[in-house]
Amino acid sequence: MPDHVKNAAKETAKFIKEIPGCAKNILLAILRTIKAIPGVAKAVLVWVSQGLKTIGTSIFNTAAKLLSMIHTVLAAVASFFCSITLKDAWNGVCILANAICA
């Protein structure tokens, strides 16, 4: 086996062994940051984020219901016009002409 392949395998193994240490350091940094925030400020941030989530959910649900209503109306109009025949249109023209001339 060539030396550069052996070296690549060794370096890869070293890198993989160092990943848990890096992950631990990142988690400890996040934990220190969270502990640095005072309890009251954290509670306020949680309350605000839950409120924003509720508002966003309400807006999304309202928009979804509005789009559903528009789709239903358009589907009803389309199905109505699909059921009209040429004879129905001609009868309508005859009735209109009758109403105007009579």
Per-residue pLDDT of the chain (102 residues; tens, 9 = 90+): 677 767 777 777 776 676 677 777 887 787 777 777 777 787 888 898 899 999 999 999 999 999 999 999 999 988 888 888 889 889 989 998 888 887
Instruction: Locate the domains of the chain by residue range.
Output: 1-36, 39-102
- Please give the pLDDT value at position 45: 83
What is the per-residue burial (b if ≥16 Cβ within 10 Å, else e) of 47-86?
Answer: eeeeeeeeeeeeeeeeeeeeeeeeeeeeeeeeeeeeeeee
How far are the Cα atoms of 25, 36, 53, 67, 72 from residue 58, in angstroms, in the given order?
Answer: 39, 33, 9, 14, 21
So what's the pLDDT on residue 1? 61
| pTM for this predicted structure | 0.46
User: How many whole angstroms separate alpha carbon 95 and alpha carbon 99?
Assistant: 6
